[in-house]
Homo-oligomer: A and B are copies of this chain.
């Protein structure tokens, strides 16, 4: 077997071989909630309330139509999840947005890349004109690098808009990718 190059590519190859992205079902929720809780409690990436009940977290994460929520299954377990849909209703509903979470124990396996690629394909197929991320924590360099690699640009950084558990106040990037 021939090496395909750097670590990122290798991870992506591993991810492609092992990761299946599919719509989330009721049966997935307990695994999703475990990821949601761990990621929010880390305090590094999401401005969600901490300590949300399973019910409240579910209302927040399981996106109703026309949005959707998916899981990335790796090795028979839910390794990550993403939700996607219109960034705004009404006259802003032609721009999509999405949120992603990967299980802390299953990072660097290409799960985020698979989820992100899925979101871009779904958004384009659903007729959205662009994808906007409203709040990417600037110190979450893995995410920033992944989105940049996938064609997203940083439009602005809102200064000190996130209270990071480690670094205190850090910026939140607004990131954007046209689909046209």
Contacts and interface: CB of A to CB of B under 8 A. Distances in A.
A47 B162 contact: no
A69 interface: no
A156 B174 contact: yes
A127 B46 CA distance: 21
Nearest to A172: B92
Interface string A89-124: 111111100000000000000000000000000000
A144 interface: no
A176 interface: yes
A138 B156 CA distance: 16
A177 to B, nearest CB: 11
Interface residue range, chain A: 35 or more
A contact patch SS: strand
A134 B132 contact: no
Interface in A140-180: 155-165, 169, 172, 174, 176, 178
A163 B50 contact: no
Contacts of A46: 90-91
A88 interface: yes
A129 B155 CA distance: 22
